[in-house]
């Protein structure tokens, strides 16, 4: 939560501050991993999906306000929509071990994330799948996640090497590559359920977006 808050402060309050954004790179893998863990441990994955989806809808209001304040009329959908799509996939994975069905559902949900312009897109959906499918092996989780990062963020650096937007693309990709540092926290997890802060986590995302909007408006005025 702290890393995400710092990241968003860097974007919306401190004009895309590099160091704030750098710290913020730790947030996504940890949240994707937490969503996957929730998929493993939840007693009712349908209710879990419903909670995340409702929060996604609520969070879209401050999310949209923040971006529109910067003149971005279509920022896409917030990360909780991405996680909602991932949870739909986890439901399929829980119901069936058919490899073809799993691949088809993963592909379809990744494409949906791309079409609706959900935050982190196909990468975000697939990251949750990786942490879920290899839940029993941290080594496999980390290795496959690294492959995913390589495919989505390292490969484009070379593909776009001669493109006119080379520096812009590489800046964003290099930032995301640094997210692998958060894998150290995942590797050190002792598989014990800590203090339950479920509702704090649920409230935090939309609330911190709303607070950031208020802070930005007050600073400008």
Domain ranges of the chain: 2-220
- Look at residues 169, 174, 168, 170 and name the one whose alpha carbon lies nearest to residue 149: 174
Beta bridge partners of 77: 118
d(Cα 162, Cα 155) in Å, to the nearest integer? 13
**Contact status, residue 212 vs residue 66, Cβ threshold 8 Å:** yes
- Look at residues 123, 174, 119 and name the one whose alpha carbon lies nearest to residue 145: 123
**Contact status, residue 19 vs residue 10, Cβ threshold 8 Å:** yes
Residue with tokens 């710290």: 23
What is the pLDDT tens value at each position of the chain, 221 positions in all?
676 767 666 666 667 666 777 677 788 999 999 999 999 999 999 999 999 999 999 999 999 988 887 667 788 999 999 999 999 999 999 999 999 999 999 999 999 999 999 999 999 999 999 999 999 999 999 999 999 999 988 877 666 655 544 445 555 666 777 788 889 888 888 766 655 656 677 788 888 888 888 887 777 66
Q: Which residues, 6+ apart, have CB-to-CB distance to 155 below 8 Å? A: none
pTM above 0.85, yes or no: yes
d(Cα 60, Cα 80) in Å, to the nearest integer? 9
Indicate the burial class of 128 (C-beta count within 10 angstroms; 0-12, 13-18, 19 or more).
Answer: buried
- Look at residues 126, 116, 171, 177 and name the one whose alpha carbon lies nearest to residue 149: 177
Write out pLDDT tens, residues 13-58.
Answer: 667 666 777 677 788 999 999 999 999 999 999 999 999 999 999 9
| DSSP secondary structure code for residue 180 in this structure | G
Distance separating the N- and C-terminal Cα atoms of the chain: 28
Exposure string over 77-106, b if 16+ CB within 10 A, otherwise e: bbbbbbbbbbbbbbebbeeeeeeeebeebb
Tell me what pLDDT residue 16 has. 67
d(Cα 29, Cα 78) in Å, to the nearest integer? 15
């Amino acid at each position: 939560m702290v890393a995400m808050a710092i990241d968003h402060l860097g974007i919306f309050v401190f004009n895309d501050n590099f160091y704030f954004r750098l710290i913020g790179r730790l947030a996504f893998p940890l949240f994707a991993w937490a969503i996957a863990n929730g998929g493993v441990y939840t007693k009712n994955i349908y209710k879990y999906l419903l909670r995340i989806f409702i929060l996604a809808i609520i969070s879209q209001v401050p999310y949209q306000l923040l971006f529109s304040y910067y003149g971005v009329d279509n920022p896409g959908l917030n990360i909780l929509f991405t996680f909602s799509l991932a949870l739909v996939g986890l439901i399929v994975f829980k119901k069936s071990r058919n490899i073809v069905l799993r691949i088809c559902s993963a592909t379809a949900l990744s494409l949906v994330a791309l079409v609706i312009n959900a935050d982190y897109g196909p990468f975000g959906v697939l990251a949750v799948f990786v942490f879920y499918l290899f839940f029993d092996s941290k080594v496999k989780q980390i290795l496959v996640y690294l492959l995913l990062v390589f495919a989505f963020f390292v490969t484009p650096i070379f593909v776009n090497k001669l493109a006119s937007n080379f520096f812009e693309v590489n800046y964003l990709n290099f930032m995301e590559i640094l997210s692998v540092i958060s894998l150290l926290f995942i590797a050190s997890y002792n598989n014990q359920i800590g203090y339950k802060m479920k509702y704090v986590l649920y409230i935090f995302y939309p609330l911190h977006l709303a607070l950031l909007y208020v802070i930005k408006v007050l600073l400008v005025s």
